[in-house]
Amino acid sequence: MRKPIIAGNWKLYKTSKEAIELVTLLKRDLCDVDTVDIVVCPVFTALSDVSDTLTESNIRVGAQNLYWEDAGAFTGEVSAPLLKELGVEYVIIGHSERRQFFGETNETVNKKMKAALRHQLIPIVCVGEVLKEREENKTFDVIRTQCEESLKGLSSEEMEGLIVAYEPVWAIGTGKTATPAQAQEVHHFIRQLLTKMFDEEVALKVRIQYGGSVKPENIAELMAEPDIDGALVGGASLKSESFAAIVINSCSKVQTRK
Ligand code: 13P
């Protein structure tokens, strides 16, 4: 059985002080949760403080990006060894905002995936179609290309630990969530694709998160779908009440499956 995983992508929000305040509340409110993996992904400058605050808690820390070289003349970049030094365990790679605003491509995503895995960071690799692509019935083609190119050259062993986040771009920050059926259709497609690219054993182990306007009110119905293993949450991860409620409401999946 795949353990559900809920991750908060804080994007470019929260100073270190605000970040410490938020995780202090989450630590208190979520200390009893052990059936769902919980991750928060603050901005780089808050990683150290957040990681210190969460020491010995059940909440793990993720970064929102990394560079594929370990060190060198790469002004402004941050590498996997530097993240590891701060206690970071996860890293979001290829978020649609990075693809849209910072020139991220499937090729750079692939290099970053390999760098993360080389240093035992768990990648959360994001895929998703824009509205025009969905309207033109190109969703599956887009997802197939993103998965094939981003995951190129990875071993079955490397695949088993990683997380794929399906984030339809039209649902991000818009309040417009994909219906559970729309999300399930793509999640199922991704799992079938992973079976073809690797094998069934790998495909059954990879956790696939949904992302795009996830809220406490819609998480349970999304999680009820067989191929949805968690969520990558943006806006609603910035407040302790809503993020804690999403984590707690996602636990119903675990109960139903027992
Ligand atoms: P929202 O939850 O704000 O729609 O953002 C989703 C997202 O981009 C998570 O990575």
Number of C-beta neighbours around residue 176 at 10 A: 12
Residue range 5-251 in CATH 3.30.70.600: no
Residue 176: predicted pLDDT: 84
Separation between Cα atoms, residue 109 and residue 197, nearest integer Å: 17
**Rounded Cα–Cα distance for residues 52 and 29 (Å):** 18
pTM equals: 0.96
For residue 146, give the amino acid letter. Answer: Q
The torsion region of residue 87 among left (phi > 0), alpha (psi -120 to 50) and beta comes to left
State CA 172 to chain mean position distance.
13
Ligand 1 centroid from CA 100, angstroms: 14
**What residue's CA is closest to ligand 1, atom 5?**
234
**254 pLDDT band (50/70/90 cuts)?**
low
CB 104 within 8 A of CB 68: no
Burial string for 22-40 (b: 16+ CB within 10 Å, else e) reads bbeebbebbeebeebbbbb
Distance CA 106, CA 88 (A): 23
Question: What's the pLDDT at 80?
Answer: 98
pLDDT at residue 253 in the model: 67
> Is 140 buried (19+), middle (13-18) or exposed (0-12) by CB count in 10 A?
middle
Greater pLDDT, 160 or 74: 74
- Are 231 and 209 in contact by the 8 Å Cβ rule? The answer is yes
Q: Please determine, for residue 58, whether its predicted confidence score (pLDDT) is greater than 60.
A: yes
Instruction: Give the pLDDT mean for 109-130.
Output: 98
Average pLDDT taken over every residue of the chain: 96
For the CA of 173, the nearest atom of ligand 1: 4
Atom of ligand 1 at shortest range from CA of 175 = 4
The domain segmentation of the chain, as residue ranges, is 5-251
Q: How confident is the model at residue 177 (pLDDT cuts 50, 70, 90)?
A: confident
| Band of residue 258 on the pLDDT scale cut at 50, 70, 90 | very low
Q: What pLDDT does 184 receive?
A: 98
